[in-house]
């Protein structure tokens, strides 16, 4: 069987496609991995075509893909499909084909799925359901010939039973692993015990260079609980300068620039790096969306430290940089 695996967005390896590649190759199938939706001039016919999209902003690409490949199987958090990989591979198949991404050094995976919260804009609770442990660090790590770098895609690491997250933290610590948690830890439900555990591990950014913990402050009404969590991190020995916080903008219909600036300024004053995530509000207010994207570029390029927003010109160079930074921070399988 000839199979096309199509990664429609994201710069990180796509875990779902890696699993499908492994499953098909075990069956002796011929696997072609591509990143474009269109059909190349020289492309052969396929017996089966898959597409995976993880971002909502990829809707246009998904539509193009479906027009080009009618009958394709599409999945991922950026699609409307609720299909899981296990429905294709069966529940017992294990294994990921990293050969799709020969440049990638860390080991990638989930220790848990699901989330304790249910934010209105988020697909995770609907797609992943209740919080549960799924793998150990030993399961995820590719072994001695690979660096001790683990990129976890968990959406709620501390939502799994305490004995499980404690066991994972101990594995990370004892094994000398560096770990990236760029889906974010849930600071609203943080406990002092969880903060203390985080302080004992080598948390890193997604390049595994800088000390970085990721979290989110999406609603103004969460101000008190957000800073309570930040206080816990700081009391445990994690300085705010290690924290990058996603901030959703454009979703709340009552959002004003004053409210947005309040969130932004409070984080900056505390030493936290904000990372605006722009909700696609084009249908409601295209001008506001454009202005929010300009705000996002101003922040993620770091220019907010040097140039007032009113003077910022989001030219082409800044747009390219913003795109690169966005892709590196937002990947998820």
Summarize as ranges the residues that interact with ligand SF4 (CB under 6 A): 115, 117-119, 122, 124-125, 155-156, 186
By beta-carbon proximity to ligand SF4, the closer residue of 49 and 124 is: 124
By beta-carbon proximity to ligand SF4, the closer residue of 97 and 206 is: 206
Q: Is the dihedral of CA 327, 184, 207, 93 positive or negative?
A: negative
By beta-carbon proximity to ligand SF4, the closer residue of 279 and 295 is: 279
Place of tokens 């220790």: 111
By beta-carbon proximity to ligand SF4, the closer residue of 125 and 240 is: 125
By beta-carbon proximity to ligand SF4, the closer residue of 118 and 254 is: 118
What tokens does 20 get? 């499908």
Question: CB of 77: closest distance to ligand SF4 in angstroms?
Answer: 10
Q: Which residue(s) pair with 133 in the sheet?
A: 112
Distance, CA of 79 to CA of 126 (rounded, Å) = 13
- Short-list 306, 305, 299, CA closest to 321: 299
Distance, CA of 312 to CA of 210 (rounded, Å) = 27
Question: CB of 172: closest distance to ligand SF4 in angstroms?
Answer: 21
Q: Which residue(s) pair with 143 in the sheet?
A: none
Q: In a 10 Å sphere around its CB, with 0-12 CB exposed, 13-18 middle and 19+ buried, how is residue 286 labelled?
A: exposed
Question: CB of 186: closest distance to ligand SF4 in angstroms?
Answer: 5
- Taking the alpha carbons at both ends of the chain, their separation in whole angstroms is 25
By beta-carbon proximity to ligand SF4, the closer residue of 38 and 121 is: 121
**Cβ–Cβ < 8 Å for 182, 141:** no
Question: CB of 70: closest distance to ligand SF4 in angstroms?
Answer: 32
By beta-carbon proximity to ligand SF4, the closer residue of 4 and 113 is: 113
Question: CB of 43: closest distance to ligand SF4 in angstroms?
Answer: 36
By beta-carbon proximity to ligand SF4, the closer residue of 122 and 199 is: 122
By beta-carbon proximity to ligand SF4, the closer residue of 25 and 127 is: 127
Question: CB of 110: closest distance to ligand SF4 in angstroms?
Answer: 12
- Short-list 109, 121, 7, 112, CA closest to 54: 7
Q: What phi and psi values does residue 107 have, to the nearest 5 degrees?
A: -105, 140
Q: State the helix-helix crossing angle for 257-270 and 223-236, rounded to 10 degrees.
A: 10
Question: CB of 332: closest distance to ligand SF4 in angstroms?
Answer: 10
Question: CB of 128: closest distance to ligand SF4 in angstroms?
Answer: 8
Question: CB of 32: closest distance to ligand SF4 in angstroms?
Answer: 32
E-assigned strand segments in the chain: 2-7, 30-34, 48-52, 73-75, 107-109, 112-113, 132-133, 149-152, 178-180, 202-204, 213-216, 243-249, 273-278
**Cβ–Cβ < 8 Å for 172, 197:** no
């Amino acid at each position: 069987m000839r199979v096309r695996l199509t990664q429609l967005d994201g710069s990180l390896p796509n875990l779902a496609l890696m699993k499908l590649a492994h499953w098909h190759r075990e069956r002796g199938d011929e696997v072609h991995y591509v990143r474009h939706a269109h059909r190349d001039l020289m492309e052969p016919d396929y017996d089966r075509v898959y597409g995976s999209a993880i971002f909502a902003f990829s809707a246009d690409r998904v539509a193009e893909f479906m027009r080009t490949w009618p009958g394709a199987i599409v999945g991922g958090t950026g699609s409307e499909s609720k299909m899981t990989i296990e429905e294709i591979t069966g529940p017992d198949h294990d294994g990921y084909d990293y050969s799709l991404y020969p440049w990638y050094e860390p080991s990638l995976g989930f220790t848990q799925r699901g989330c304790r919260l249910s934010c209105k804009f988020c697909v995770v609770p609907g797609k992943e359901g209740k919080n549960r442990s799924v793998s150990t660090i030993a399961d995820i790590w590719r072994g001695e010939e690979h660096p001790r770098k683990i990129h976890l895609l968990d959406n709620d690491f501390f939502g799994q039973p305490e004995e499980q997250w404690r066991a994972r933290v101990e594995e990370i610590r004892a094994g000398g692993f560096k770990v990236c948690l760029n889906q974010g830890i849930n600071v609203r439900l943080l406990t002092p015990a969880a903060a203390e555990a985080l302080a004992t591990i080598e948390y890193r950014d997604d390049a595994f260079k800088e000390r970085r913990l990721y979290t989110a402050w999406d609603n103004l009404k969460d101000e008190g609980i957000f800073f309570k969590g930040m206080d816990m991190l700081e009391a445990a020995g994690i300085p705010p300068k290690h924290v990058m916080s996603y901030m959703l903008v454009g979703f709340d219909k009552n959002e004003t620039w004053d409210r947005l600036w309040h969130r932004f300024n409070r984080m900056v004053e505390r030493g936290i790096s904000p990372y605006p995530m722009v909700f696609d509000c084009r249908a409601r207010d295209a001008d506001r969306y454009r202005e929010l994207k300009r705000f996002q570029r101003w922040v993620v390029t770091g220019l907010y430290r040097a140039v007032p927003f009113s003077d910022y010109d989001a030219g082409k160079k800044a747009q390219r940089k913003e795109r690169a930074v966005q892709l590196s921070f937002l990947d998820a399988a």
